[in-house]
Chains A and B, each alone.
Chain A
């Protein structure tokens, strides 16, 4: 077992102070600026700012402060991060260096096309690679995240039926789906119809048959689903939806479980979004930037956002095509998170066809190995039979029933072992859920350490439950009062100054 303690920079009753609590007023600054031409500027007095209350600090103070903060942040480079549905795999360093090149960082989207041929070529090639991986006909690289891709997908569904003169208002979503699916469909103006899962953890075909009608615009599915299970009746499902004139939407959050083994396009999906910051290893940056490209079947191509990147073979030149009369327009300014796209492109080339397939296989072996070792029915159990794909959802119900220790307690105690805990209490259809996604970039040694930690916590729940409930203690800070944080929200320094007791 690993012995672990996170850095804990503390002064009096707070961790590292806020930048607003640091430094000396009256002139410090972290950088000198060029002087410019010194011409007169002509801004009326009433539009000028009188004061700005932000800190005044020297450069070393700024650097030390944020370095200390970084030391109080767990990351996949430091340890196991099996956060289910998030695919926290290793982020290759070479990709970072490539995305930092002058030819990536310092080009402007409105430059003459002749001066950004390299950028257009990378996007064009990436789009072709992603189409091959998913089995789709064309891709849009604009969306900034998975949920953004879902929203675009729903707008495409709207545009498709509008063009056919049909009004279809319903989007069907399984009860195991990611919360974003419901929200994206709602934002695009659809009514959501929920279908339950069956006792095998898959979409219930009878319930689906009852839900599908001439009002159905689309069915949104994740495959493998959030239970980590492959929807093995996907061909029947696809037929059922298509026979009713609806479209099939693929949430690509879980593509890592089948990449190189099967393709959503072949399953009948009409629209697919990918999460480049999951399956394609671009780092998640503590919450973003991500990238959520959307692929479509041929019949939906004409509705994709502008511009579309084209290649003129005669002139050997890439160009941006805005002349798309049926396009829905834009979903984001410019062309997408280009810096992220470069990393994903380099990743796919590094992996190659066999490497991607190998990744899926290793990820699936790792997840099944954890299930095999942990689902003993005494502390943790699986509610649905495997094999699973890239992730396994355990239920800590047996442990809770016996000891009163909850999944949340287990999660907090795991922090003390120098690993990031699984996603918990999701999907909601599994009580006391622990959703574990190890990914392919973890070794058996690492998995064995996690297994040992889970067993140690389960053991402790029986012998010393107080210790589990009091966890974590090895982290920068102890268990936080999240209820209070939402009941009396303090969301900025300014708000804190107003609300704090004088």
Chain B
């Protein structure tokens, strides 16, 4: 018996071999040197029936405790949101799910148009003219943004804020290693968390390729000096790069409107599950100028016409930037991206519309605002650490006991606490990053506050 995923029976297989004048399949592998051939077979379990696979995988996974079963206040780069049922169903349609990159546009118009719509929706959201069809995640978008800034300006210094996810920073360092870009951090005001403008002004110079900020910042507060930062970057001819949580843009000013040349971010919250941190969806957008466009990494879908000029259609464009033509001179090596997550994002944004997205952003921010207020009344808890407006994430400091102790106690009381920040920002003491979204009910928020109070009162 052959495996159920393989259609040709032994008989058919033998018939095909005979037609080729062969008697044994091994004749087709005779070019593999005998000493390289696997003798006893791979040391893997034998094929399992579908039902056994399901039972096994489910039994292993039952050791996970999803945030749908126990409220969680974790965000920090991927954020739990409700994924509407129809968004899931559309991206599960086999036509989207089981197709390859649309190399043959005539038979792949569906995917191409959906991705063009994704590009268009992202462009509106961030306030720029061009967005690509996706990168792997926010962190790799940041790496590519630094490389692109260097190529566009012919310079080698990239300035970034000290408040940034250290994992994201590590990815950036790896991307910057090839062309030996110099990464320069700018400190923050200890009171407000805002970028230290004086220090930034001193560090931006004629060799600065790009100035990067995040808004909202990694620690949840808004960077409000955006116009000044844009001005500083542009005055020295550097590009201004802004990283975003796209949900916030339902409410917040588009970075394109305050001078951003490149906008990047994490698109996961737009209709994609958190899924333990992947698949994610790297957003990458830029101004529509030629000098930027030529250096843009990643796949781009463009609008065109049929050769006879009659119908409007879509195809991949500007592939001369890409690896299969330019090879080592390509703007990036990226090939496969996160297309299906981009389709989910398009369906999600089309579903919410401007009002829905604004309401969603407001609910996320209002829940955070409420939670900050309630937590700040607890003895031994300081919330937030920075005197700045916040979106849906904020810092919480525990002045009596450690965050790991607090989180362990909260776990016993049925809550996933915030993300400990000790490894990333030791200067903040025992602090955690908390996040709220529309998933949180008033009962969740009040219950969490109560639990923190009980633990702290001990």
Contact = CB atoms under 8 A, between A and B. Distances in A.
A188 B147 CA distance: 11
Interface residues of A, number: 210
A47 B253 contact: yes
Interface string A472-493: 1001111111101110011111
A460 B364 CA distance: 62
A286 interface: yes
B154 interface: no
B284 interface: no
A280 to B, nearest CB: 12
Interface string B173-186: 11101111000000
A145 B336 CA distance: 6
B251 A43 contact: yes
Interface in A85-119: 86, 88-92, 94, 96-112, 114-119
B352 A286 contact: no
Contact of B350 (A30, A52, A368): A30
A478 B273 contact: no
A369 B20 contact: yes
A421 B104 contact: yes
Contacts of A494: 120, 123-124, 129
B279 A485 contact: no
B429 interface: no
Interface in B100-148: 100-111, 113-117, 119-121, 123-125, 129-131, 133-134, 136-140, 147
B97 interface: yes
Interface in B155-206: 165, 167-168, 170-171, 173-175, 177-180
A289 B338 contact: yes
A55 to B, nearest CB: 6
Contact of B90 (A67, A83, A179, A339): A67
A186 B366 contact: no
Contacts of B20: 368-369, 372
A404 interface: no
Contacts of B120: 18, 20, 492-494
Contacts of A302: none
B3 A346 contact: no
A144 interface: yes
A231 to B, nearest CB: 9
Interface stretch (B5-13, B230-238, B375-383): B5-13
Contacts of B56: 349
A37 B113 CA distance: 38
Interface string B57-79: 11011111111111010101110
A187 to B, nearest CB: 5
Contacts of B174: 155, 328-331
Interface residues of B, number: 214
A339 B46 contact: no
A146 B300 contact: no
Contact of A357 (B42, B266, B391): B42
B450 interface: no
Contacts of B103: 83, 423
A53 B7 contact: no
Contact of A103 (B27, B61, B170, B288): B61
B215 to A, nearest CB: 9
B339 to A, nearest CB: 3
Contacts of A42: 369, 389-390
Contact of A105 (B130, B274, B346, B419): B274
B455 interface: no
A485 B315 contact: yes
A361 B25 contact: yes
Interface string A452-475: 000000000000000000001001
B23 interface: no
B330 A352 contact: no
A145 B350 contact: no
B224 A46 contact: yes
A33 B139 CA distance: 30
A345 B170 CA distance: 28
A491 B301 contact: yes
A132 B317 CA distance: 40
A74 B110 CA distance: 9
A394 interface: no
Interface in B275-303: 275-280, 288, 293, 299-303
Interface string A302-318: 00000000000000000
Contact of A101 (B6, B61, B338): B61
A41 B252 CA distance: 12
B178 A18 contact: no
Contacts of A287: 100-102, 111, 115, 133-134, 299, 336-340
Given A145-B136, A415-B104, A40 B366 contact: yes
Interface string A247-284: 00000000000101111001100000001010001011
A485 B303 contact: yes
A56 B47 contact: no
A434 B315 CA distance: 21
Contact of B67 (A30, A94, A107, A150): A107
Given A29-B352, A187-B332, A110 B37 contact: no
Interface in B301-358: 301-313, 315-320, 322-330, 332-341, 343, 346-347, 349-358
Nearest to A8: B109
B183 to A, nearest CB: 13
B79 to A, nearest CB: 9
Contacts of B329: 186
A400 B263 CA distance: 47
A297 interface: no
A189 B176 CA distance: 10
B16 A151 contact: no
A361 B320 CA distance: 37
A284 B99 contact: yes
Contact of B106 (A107, A111, A475): A475
A34 B101 contact: no
Given A37-B442, A56-B354, A339 B109 contact: no
Contacts of B254: 49, 52
Contacts of B222: 43, 47
B441 A34 contact: yes
A274 to B, nearest CB: 13
Contact of B360 (A33, A50, A115, A498): A33
B363 interface: yes
Contact of A78 (B7, B50, B76, B94): B94
Interface string B440-458: 1110010000000000000
A75 B95 contact: yes
Nearest to A330: B170
Nearest to B353: A56
A180 interface: yes
Given A35-B363, A353-B46, 16 more contacts: A18-B120, A29-B356, A33-B438, A116-B63, A118-B64, A132-B44, A133-B42, A187-B178, A283-B97, A287-B336, A330-B170, A334-B167, A353-B42, A421-B104, A444-B7, A480-B306
Which 9 A-B pairs have CB atoms at the shortest separation, nearest pair first? Answer: A334-B277, A285-B340, A287-B339, A352-B47, A73-B110, A186-B328, A30-B351, A109-B277, A485-B304
18 contacts: A18-B117, A19-B121, A34-B363, A36-B363, A36-B438, A39-B370, A50-B253, A62-B86, A115-B65, A119-B276, A151-B333, A183-B333, A286-B115, A333-B167, A337-B280, A368-B20, A477-B311, A481-B307
